[in-house]
Amino acid sequence: MELQFEQTFFDTMNRLRYYLKMPMIHGRNGSRKAMAKGASVEFSDYREYQLGDDIRRVDWNAYGRFEKLYIKEYMEEKEALFHLFLDTSASMEFGNKKKSDLALYITAGLSYLILNNLDRAQVYKIADGGQVKGKKHGGRGKFSEVLQELKETEFGGKTDLASSLRASDLTKGGISIVISDFLDMHSMETAIQYLKYKKQEVIFICIWAKEEEQIASYGDVEFLDMETKERLKVTITRKEVEAYQERLHRYQKQLEQVCKKYDVAFIKVYSHEPFDEVLLKTLYKSQLL
């Protein structure tokens, strides 16, 4: 798919900065506050001198007041590492406006924002219980490389969220953004538990097509499962449509409740919505902006 962006998109993204709830644990020097103490210019705290400490970090004014040696500590600045998990299973191809198209644009837009803020982005394409891991990109000039990775994306296969995420073998600390239709409730909680174990700040972006909620046809209909290719012939009446919509509503509530339980930001969007509006909605609802 050819991903094209208007200049207004770049103008908007260049004005945005995001806020991370957690300090970074590791990584290369950057603009994010780390839990480790380092040698940056931002003062953090004092501690008593220990044998082997650098004598140049002794605060002699404090020694004059307390007659004890104290060391100045500074907050080390680290870059944030964003893991962008893109669901490439066959169900993402559904909709008159395909869920996959919006998913690619969201992934690209977030990547640009991340790189523009001098952090690092890594895209994982997940399906069939596995994943294709992209390179770790850092720096404003790497956006074209991310676009090239996304242009080569192929959608197909089944969804197994938990297995796909575990295959990523994340190091602890970072931000994980999962972009999917989340039709795999069976493994969703296990997936969240894995990400939380890896000390991730987690954001789920759920994309649905409006056709999944609005059944317009009645009578004899044949359904096709896009992932298993199984076919099911049914007779649809108004009663069946109402029952389907009620079950769908309960399923969505389940998704939201599981995310709330683990302090995961859950943002639902529709594939027909304009990409730039979706991106801003995602950032605000996840409290990243």
Mean of the pLDDT values across residues 208-221?
83
Q: Taking Cα atoms as reference points, which of 172, 124, 240, 143 lies closest to residue 22?
A: 172
Q: Name the H helices within the chain.
A: 7-14, 60-66, 99-116, 143-151, 161-166, 185-197, 238-261, 275-285
Q: Is 132 exposed, middle or buried (0-12, 13-18, 19+ CB in 10 A)?
A: middle
pTM of the model: 0.79
Q: What are phi and psi of 148, to 5 degrees?
A: -65, -40
Overall average pLDDT of the 99-110 stretch: 94
d(CA 158, CA 128) in angstroms, rounded, equals: 5
**Digit-coded pLDDT (tens) for 223-252:** 777 777 788 887 888 888 888 889 999 999
Pairing mode of beta strands 265-270, 231-236: unpaired
> Is the distance from CB of 252 to CB of 273 less than 8 angstroms?
no
Integer Cα distance of 105 and 275 in angstroms: 7
Nearest alpha carbon to residue 206 among 162, 172, 251, 166: 251
- pLDDT value at position 25? 44
Provide the pLDDT for residue 77.
Answer: 56
Do 127 and 93 meet the contact criterion of CB atoms below 8 Å apart?
no
Please give the average per-residue pLDDT across 173-197, as a whole number: 91
Tell me: pLDDT of 36 over 50: no
Q: What is the separation, in whole angstroms, between the first and last Cα of the chain?
A: 29
Mean pLDDT score across all residues of the chain: 83
User: Mind listing the pLDDT tens digit for each residue in 124-176?
Assistant: 999 888 888 899 999 888 999 999 999 999 999 988 888 999 888 788 888 99
Per-residue confidence (pLDDT) for residue 20, from 0 to 100: 64
**How big is the chain by its Cα radius of gyration, in Å?**
23
CA-wise closest residue to 204 among 255, 155, 158, 153: 255
Q: With left for phi above 0 and alpha for psi between -120 and 50, is residue 118 left, alpha or beta?
A: left
Tens of pLDDT, residues 72-96: 766 555 678 999 999 999 999 999 9
Read off the tokens for 74: 């500074």
At 11 the three-state DSSP class reads helix
User: Rounded CA gap, 117 and 133, in Å?
Assistant: 22
Tokens of 19: 């806020």
